[in-house]
Amino acid sequence: MKKDKSAKPVTKPIEGVMDQKLSRRDILRLTGVGGLGLLLGGTGAGSLIAARKASEPAPAALAANADTIPFYGSHQSGILTPAQNFIVFASFDLTTTKLAEVKQLLEAWTTAAAALTSGSLIGNVNDNPNLPPSDTGEADGLSPSKCTLTFGVGPAFFDGRFGLASKRPSTFADLPAFAGDALEPQWCGGDLCVQACADDLQVAFHAIRNLARIARGTAVLRWTQEGFQRTGGADPKGGTPRNLLGFKDGTGNPDVTDAAAMQEIVWSGSGDGPAWMNGGTYMAVRRVQLRVEVWDRSPLSDQENTFGRYRQSGAPIGAKDEFADLNLEAKDAAGRPVVPPNSHSALSHGDGSVKILRRSYSYSSGMNLKTGQLDAGLLFISFQKDLVKQFVSIQQRLAKSDMLNEYILHTGSAVFACFPGVREGGYIGETLLG
């Protein structure tokens, strides 16, 4: 438990506790995760619990649950988890060549991740003023904010440095070159990835910063990218967020609550590859810069034909409802397809037999100093059980003839094998390294 020169007892009125958000410190105190001593010490927090009837649910537990995504489980969180408002994505290069040190890192990251996702600071922060604090502190006082941390390894991890070449899933490799790729090395690849998502950008940043700090001597950051979805002024109808081209993005995504579909699309199963990936999934990440200035000069009808959807409603061209099926057979009076065959929707959909789970974020990274234009775009992320059969087959269609290609530039690319979930007492990647 961290010492705190200026800590005050929690003296919030009991009647308010169900309504208000609790701070990370409050939750720790109330749930006892970080400080059973304080709970029993007769402070406001202790009194608060004592005053409740035993039959009532503990308010802190409710508050914590609403704002906390469990870290431990059979799958990693941050995959089926409904997208939080922010992402800080980080790719790391290992600087060690000792597998034992990689394992130590993943064990240390596990301990840290359990703290970070539950809203706790890492370690005994203020125990010794003569040492650097064990947590960098900028999330102190902030709620857990649905923070999820999702870990994976890149194809390079199996290159022989660690004696794990034989463990590489047979189809797991860097993506092939796609027509029109404009990849820049500083946005590509990596030995390890951490996808930090949260409803508070400062919480997600704090997570990546502290994980990078813990990695010092073992791994270094290779690239990072922040991203956002709508972030506070959300559509009250809970509508599909819009990308920075002004179109709804994610309408056709599979239903994450459909367990059978997720097993078919996302999760690597027992017959799908090495046993260590059972319950894991493969991530494709593409940093897609949008040529917003060019897009903004295009007529609305061109924009809508490019997507194959109406901008305002998100409905497929020819339909009224955003979630109407994409009817690629429909013809207009002149016999032409209603939805252009080379539109982004039509090509992404193909014959409908191949699906991926998208979980993308917009990004805005100031100006591109080379072009003087906004460096804004999409951090495309998808999860699938087979990169080649799913992501690659769709992206090959798109790269070849998507009308959207005129307005986008793929500048970054990486793939990662995201481990199955972590069991309590275990560590990230245990099925591979254990």
381-420 residues near a second copy, rule: CB under 8 A: none
185 — phi, psi (to 5°)? -55, -30
- Interactions with a second copy, residue window 248-277 (CB under 8 A): none
Per the structure block, which two tokens stand in for 138?
């900028």
Q: What's the CA gap between 229 and 244, in Å, rounded?
A: 10
Q: How far is the CB of 402 from a second copy (least distance, A)?
A: 20
By CB under 8 A, tell whether 143 contacts a second copy: yes
* Position 218 contacts a second copy (CB under 8 A): no
Q: Per CB under 8 A, does 96 bind a second copy?
A: no
10/262 with CB nearer a second copy: 10
CB of 193 to a second copy, least distance (A): 14
Q: Which residue reads 């920075």 in tokens? A: 244
CB of 297 to a second copy, least distance (A): 6
What distance in Å separates the CA atoms of residue 32 and residue 39, rounded to the nearest whole number?
Answer: 7
Cβ 314 to a second copy shortest distance, Å:
8
Rounded-to-integer distance, Cα 207 and Cα 10, Å: 26
Window 148 to 187, contacts with a second copy (CB under 8 A): 186
Query: Out of 49, 242, 250, 426, which residue is the one contacting a second copy (CB under 8 A)?
Result: 242
Single-letter residue type at 258 = D
- What span, in angstroms and rounded, lies between the C-alpha atoms of 78 and 92? 18
Q: How far is the CB of 59 from a second copy (least distance, A)?
A: 13
| Residue of the chain from 79, 88, 219, 381 that contacts a second copy (CB under 8 A) | 88
Q: Residues of 378-398 as b/e, b for ≥16 C-beta within 10 angstroms?
A: bbbbbbbbbbeebbbebbebb
Pick out residues in 318-347 that bind a second copy (CB under 8 A).
Answer: 320-322
Q: Find the binder of a second copy among 101, 140, 181, 272 (CB under 8 A).
A: 140
For CA atoms 240, 244, 245, 250, the dihedral sign is negative
The structure tokens listed for 249 are 């993005």
Angle at alpha carbon of residue 387, lines to 381 and 390, rounded to 5°: 90
Per CB under 8 A, 246 contacts a second copy: yes
Closest CA to 9 of 49, 50, 45, 57: 45
Q: Token pair of 352, please?
A: 């409908």
Q: Answer yes or no: are the C-beta atoms of 389 and 355 closer than 8 Å.
A: no
Q: Per rule CB under 8 A, is residue 223 in the interface with a second copy?
A: yes
**According to CB under 8 A, which one of 79, 94, 113, 198 is a site residue for a second copy?**
198
209 touching a second copy, by CB under 8 A: yes
Binding mask of the shown chain, residues 343 to 362, with x at each position contacting a second copy by CB under 8 A: -------------------x
Least spacing, CB of residue 138 vs a second copy, in Å? 5
Shortest distance, CB of residue 324 to a second copy, whole angstroms?
Answer: 10
x-marked contacts with a second copy along 17-56 as a string, rule CB under 8 A: ---xxxx--x------------------------------
- The one-letter amino acid code at 195 reads Q
